[in-house]
Amino acid sequence: MNRIKHLFQEKKNILSIYYTAGYPNTGDTIQIAEALQKSGADILEIGFPYSDPVADGPVIQASSKQSLDQGMTLKLLFEQLKELRKNVTIPVLLMGYVNPVLQFGVEKFCEACAEVGVDGCIVPDLPMVEYEEFYKDCFEKHNLANVFLITPQTAEERIRKIDGLTNGFIYLLSSSATTGKNLEVGNTTEAYFSRIKAMDLKNPTMIGFGISDKQTFDKACSYANGAIIGTAFVKAISEGNLEENISNFMKKFKD
């Protein structure tokens, strides 16, 4: 059984943390992963930076630019990730845009993920039709979960299709805005979350975009299997002592 499936069978209120590879410093990728596991994260989403991160807000855009300016590439990231499984045992996903993956080569990318112990990928701008036709076999051959995103506007037919193609979890965007917006669960958002929950999907769900503290995390967990935090964490590690910042940030989510 892979790490993602095992986690969702064993645990509720799952906390996933996103951070940008190579930020704040190029060599921080593994240190952050180890510190997050130590501090109680359940899943890691390591972002590989891209020069045109259209779905990201200013904080993650800035982290991507800094990482790229400092020399981060997919090739370098995979070199760093060779050390990943020495101490990190929780599920790890890579998240980023499709363009760097295509430039790297999809087959080569999947092979590299498998070699370093990555469990899955989140590639928001990879069209579902292209994934199914061209890349699904490659992902499955290397035991990689491909995580699809759902927005409040996603039709039920498409959600059912995504559920059928998913072998990890489904990422529920709390809104169609860019990352970094605060989660506001009004009537419309509540109806959206309730609608997804009532569909009784076969795959677990995680809510992302706008989760920044214990209150928003708990709210998201009442509708899904867990929540994803990105912008708030990236902001928290932007300066100062990395280990202290990670420990202090993660303490917010402990009961």
Terminal C-alpha separation, the chain: 29
What is the SS3 assignment for 217? helix
Residues 6+ apart with CB under 8 A from 237: 19, 23, 24, 32, 245, 246, 249
Residues 216-221 have a mean pLDDT of: 92
Mention every residue, 6+ apart, whose C-beta is less than 8 A from residue 35.
242, 243, 246, 247
255 exposed, middle or buried (CB, 10 Å; 0-12, 13-18, 19+)? exposed
C-alpha distances out from residue 216 to 2, 8, 12, 199, Å: 29, 20, 16, 23
To the query of whether residue 156 is one of the catalytic residues in this protein, the response is no
Burial (0-12, 13-18, 19+ Cβ within 10 Å), 73: middle
> Alpha-carbon distance 92 to 119, whole Å?
6
- pLDDT mean across residues, the chain: 92
Out of 28, 42, 45, 119, pick the active-site residue.
45
Task: Write down all domains in the chain, each with its CATH number in brackets.
Answer: 13-247 (3.20.20.70)
pLDDT, tens digit, 9 for 90 and up, residues 87-99: 999 999 999 999 9
Decide if pLDDT at 254 tops 80.
Answer: no
Give the pLDDT band (50/70/90) at residue 56. Answer: confident
pLDDT above 70: residue 253: yes
Q: Which among 28, 34, 56, 119 is annotated as catalytic?
A: 56
Residue 178 confidence (pLDDT):
46
pLDDT at 57: 83
> Is residue 137 annotated as part of the catalytic site, yes or no?
no
Residue 177: band (very low, low, confident or very high) from pLDDT cuts 50, 70, 90: low
Is the pLDDT confidence value at 113 over 50?
A: yes
User: pLDDT band at 170, cuts 50/70/90?
Assistant: very high
Taking the C-alpha atoms of residue 20 and residue 62, their distance in angstroms, rounded to an integer, is 10
Q: Is residue 184's pLDDT more than 70?
A: no
Residue 205 CB contacts under 8 Å (≥ 6 apart), including other chains: 169, 170, 171, 172, 196, 197, 224, 225
